[in-house]
Amino acid sequence: MGSRKSRLSRRAFLGTAAGSAALGLLRPAASFARPAPESEILRDYVGRICYNENPLGPSPLAMAAMTDELAMGHRYSDWYAESLRNDLSELHEIPAGQIIAGCGATEILRLAAFAFAQPGKNVVTPYPSYGQFSGDSEMMGSGVRHSGLDEDFRIDLADMLSTVDMNTTAVCITNPNNPTATPLAAADIAAFVDALPPEVAVIIDEAYHEFVQDPGYESAIELVRQTKNVVVIRTFSKAHGLAGVRIGYGVGRGNLIGDMRAWLSWGTVSRPALAAARAALTDAQHIADSVTHALAAKQYCFTELDAMGVSYIPSETNFFMVDVGDGPAVLQELAGRGINVRAGWGMSDYIRVSVGTMDEMEDFITALGEILEQGVERSAPPKVTALEGNLPNPFRAATHVAYALHRPAHVRVEVFDLRGRLVRTCVDAQQGPGRYGFDWNGTDRRGAPVAAGSYFYRLSAGDVVQTRRMILTR
């Protein structure tokens, strides 16, 4: 079957390289001289192919730089990451004053929401897509409007443009998109930016920039050079392998970066993080190895999925989406075998798989083949306790929340607002192993309708605590 291009409308979403021999050369233990075998390096993280982490680890240059910097741990770092910003200025040919650095792309996205979201106004983001900017915008009192994807699972820029109105202050695009791993062409983004009202800020999250091979893709930093109303956000978490170090940055038009900097706290980037990022920028070989490994691992998986007759979405990142028919159930079965993947939010047929080591990819393919061949026994006791994604999401009238228990436990499922205040307790009972679910109609403990926005729902069952986010529209 291979890659499938099924027509999937916005409404439908809201409702429902190289061969195996070459791949052996791309295992982390073989790629770099390390003092310990791969299994010892990964320790208890084997099988964690759910967070889009880099299985090759940090750049050796970055690790050495962090180690050297530990002796200066008693001294504060650059107040505003001036040293890194100067390096990035030279790299991108952008004045350092148009660059902002922070504790991961997470902080940069949050600063963008703080700077551009306004009470009584709205921001526009696609769905499904990475949701941090929309959640942080709601925390600032802004409304959030969602556009959809096209038939190729790409962000539908025409739909996004039609969703913008006179009260829109910002739009946010993840390119390539997460979770679909699909890119937008540079020409299409440029035309979209030009068609927007000039006062609308455009946030473009390029977390997976280094992995893209599509010839039509180009970083939107070129739009910043053209003084467009754009902020481009990058991270060192993915291709650079520094997810646990927490460092990212934004490049944008001067006035936009100035608005973001007004919300920035000094000293949020540690000395080791700065040293790691600066060293990682100089290690072109590590980036090349990381990209080569991702390409080869994906090609191996796609070849095997084609042979199995399983559909997937072609990927331009270090993760990919697989159509397994019942995402939550297959996720459960994989977890029971020690393989952790993610469900595709808003896409219940899919699982999202991160590129791991070749051993992990081979284990994933073997396990998935066995699970699909045997079929998922819905009546069988779950192998792990897990909170599943709610459907539909976003929702207007009601949404269904599902969860699974693999042993008896006292269960609480609660809904909280963005400030952490309890909105409603939906489940508070002793329950045995099995699959459960309930509907939430967007009301609080008194039965009164709650405001549109993002909410968190949390499962507590014995020693398991898991949280997910849902979006209520009105």
Structure tokens at 79: 């107040």
Q: What is the pLDDT of residues 130-171, one digit of tens each?
A: 988 988 898 888 888 989 999 999 999 999 999 999 999 999
The CA distance from 126 to 474, in Å, is: 17
Strand (E) or helix (H) holding 409: strand 409-416
pLDDT in tens, the chain (474 residues): 454 433 333 333 333 333 333 333 344 333 333 333 333 334 457 899 999 999 999 999 999 999 999 999 999 999 999 999 999 999 999 999 999 999 999 999 999 999 999 999 999 999 899 988 988 898 888 888 989 999 999 999 999 999 999 999 999 999 999 999 999 999 999 999 999 999 999 999 999 999 999 999 999 999 999 999 999 999 999 999 999 999 999 999 999 999 999 999 999 999 999 999 999 999 999 999 999 999 999 999 999 999 999 999 999 999 999 999 988 889 989 988 999 999 877 788 999 999 999 999 999 999 999 999 988 765 567 888 989 888 888 888 889 999 989 888 899 999 999 888 999 999 988 888 888 889 899 999 888 899 988 999 999 998 888 999 999 987
- Which domains occur in the chain, in start order? 10-50+287-374 (3.90.1150.10), 60-281 (3.40.640.10), 386-472 (2.60.40.4070)
Three-state DSSP class for 386? Answer: strand
Which residues, in sequence order, are bridge partners of residue 320? 353
Phi, psi of 368 (to 5 degrees): -65, -45
Q: Among residues 125, 311, 130, 267, which one has the least CA distance to residue 208?
A: 130
